[in-house]
Structure 1
Amino acid sequence: MELSFEIMALLIAVAAVAGFIDAMAGGGGLITLPALLAAGITPAQALATNKLQSSFGSFSASLYFIRSGAVKLQEMWLPIVCTFIGSALGAEAVQHIKPDVLMSIIPIVLIAISGYFLFSSVTPKPNEKPKLSEAAFAFFVGGGVGFYDGFLGPGTGSIFAVCFVALGRYSLVAATAHTKVLNFTSNIAALTFFILAGLPIWELGLTMAIGGFIGARLGARVVLGNGQKWIKPLVIIMSMSMAIKLLWEQHQQLLLSMF
């Protein structure tokens, strides 16, 4: 489909803002997906195109965190493998299973994530041991959250972050850095299946990727700079925003009938 120059420019700007926020707290899809739908893209193509452009943003943030030394890839190979397999299985399963039941659970999960960051200390105590072994964390968190991202995806970054903090006992900055690597992994796995199905709009996705790449790089810099004070409120805001959006979409008719 053909889009005007003005619409393309607006989508690039939207992708840049989403990439910036996504690198810090996740939830960038909450911004880009509605923008794609508003531009007249079909839901299936919008999901695929969004995954295409967001992959560049998550790659940009991941690369920055790796180069800065915040993430050591040799220590993450098992979570990366489990996440890739989980996301691939999720992307395959969503083509055969109706996601209605899971969609009703997502807002509850997102509200719980907001509550965790709002009411608990997100800074582990010094020398505090992880609650799961590396292998268990890779299998259950990497594989499980990866499957969810391939199957549906809203709030994946926030779920990864809370798992790194609550179960892995990472600091908030370290959790954010490691989250982006696994987020990129799950994005690529799911995107592969969307490409095989011929769904992404390449010209649009690659154009938006420019904005997403730049925005994510800036967001990653803020995280490693003085980002600690911004991550927590952003995670809460994005998680609650996604929960409200999903609840509205699921119960719109009921809510409107009450007024």
Structure 2
Amino acid sequence: MEFNFGWEMLLLFFAAAALAGFIDSIAGGGGLIGIPVLLLSGLPPINALATNKVQGMAGSFTASMTMIKKGVVDFNKIWFAAFMSFIGATLGTICVHYIDVSVLDILVPIVLIMIGLYFLLVPNIGDVEKKPRMQEKLFNTTVVPGIGFYDGIFGPGTGSFFSLSNIALRGQQIITATGNAKVFNFASNIAAVVVFVVSGKVVWLVGGVMIIGQILGAYLGSLMVIKNGSKLIRPLVVVMCFLMVARYLYGKF
């Protein structure tokens, strides 16, 4: 199937991807922008999801590399966790074809609301590094692949889940937690992207334009995270969590 778009639509795809990459690198939820734009352009849902996943992975890669180069993330300390995120997502991508995920229709909005309220109501969350509540090895072999598994079978809110778990369970400062979450999210995205690419569902003209936009947006968003920290991250996480819930429920009713 061939898709033809004029330069006006390609410019819109670029702008949407840049905005999505900027927001996603700070708080997650960039799919709220990318997927609707792709669907409204006339792409079938499976092609829209595949193309969005590919361009989104470019953004998470850019955000991850920026955080690593700026010293926010020490990859030597988290490479195993990132690998476990990939393993979890791979298993999730396989299992989604064999299990009933309808229970997530109820669970995910509730969890997203809880995350939004937690960031809204808990004072000074992630302002300073605290003593971990879970050992690193246990966290890396249970929580991280568990969230990666969720990303493989469903996806919405994955970045928020990684960020909150880094703060609540590992006691990380909010900028470090956000940076690590980008790396984990990038790793979990790889499994789904491989499946979509192999199956030929990616619209590469659109995806290529959006990848450029994502790289620009994610880079600028990452710099904003490093510069402004919790003053920017906390309110945007709250807003994006509630927007994801609203968009999710809107699609169900």
TM-score normalised to the size of structure 2? 0.95
Residues 96, 197 of structure 1: alpha-carbon distance in 2 compared, 3 angstrom cutoff: farther
Post-superposition offset of 1:127: 6.5
Which of residues 15, 18, 21 is equivalent to 1:19?
21
Distance in 2, matches of 1:236 and 1:214, equals 24
Other-structure match for 1:40? 42
Distance in 1, matches of 2:30 and 2:129, equals 33
The secondary structure found in structure 2 opposite 1:100 is coil
Matched ranges for 1:64-143 at <5 A: 64-123=66-125, 128-143=130-145
Which of residues 154, 158, 161 is equivalent to 1:159?
161
Distance in 2, matches of 1:8 and 1:174, equals 35
Distance in 1, matches of 2:88 and 2:196, equals 15
1:52–1:206 Cα contact (<8 Å) kept: no
Residues 96, 5 of structure 1: alpha-carbon distance in 2 compared, 3 angstrom cutoff: farther
Question: Please, which runs of 5 or more residues in structure 2 have no aligned partner?
Answer: none
Residues 124, 4 of structure 1: alpha-carbon distance in 2 compared, 3 angstrom cutoff: closer
Other-structure match for 1:57? 59
Other-structure match for 2:194? 192
1:110–1:243 Cα contact (<8 Å) kept: yes
Other-structure match for 2:213? 211
| AA matched with 1:66 | I
Post-superposition offset of 1:126: 6.0
| AA matched with 2:49 | L
Alignment deviations for residues 200-250 of structure 1 (CA, whole Å, 9 cap, x no partner) = 112211210100100000000001112320100100000000001111211
Distance in 2, matches of 1:125 and 1:39, equals 41
Question: Please, which runs of 5 or more residues in structure 1 have no aligned partner?
Answer: 253-259
| AA matched with 2:66 | Y
2:119–2:125 Cα contact (<8 Å) kept: no
Which 4+ residue blocks in structure 1 deviate beyond 6 angstroms?
A: none
Distance in 1, matches of 2:14 and 2:224, equals 21
Residues 68, 159 of structure 1: alpha-carbon distance in 2 compared, 3 angstrom cutoff: same
1:122–1:171 Cα contact (<8 Å) kept: no
| AA matched with 2:10 | M
Other-structure match for 1:237? 239
1:90–1:149 Cα contact (<8 Å) kept: yes
Alignment deviations for residues 111-150 of structure 1 (CA, whole Å, 9 cap, x no partner) = 0100110111353586632111111111222101101111
1:60–1:216 Cα contact (<8 Å) kept: yes
Distance in 1, matches of 2:126 and 2:228, equals 18
1:88–1:189 Cα contact (<8 Å) kept: yes
TM-score normalised to the size of structure 1? 0.93
* Number of residue pairs the alignment of both structures matches: 251
Distance in 2, matches of 1:5 and 1:238, equals 30
| AA matched with 1:133 | Q
Distance in 2, matches of 1:125 and 1:155, equals 22
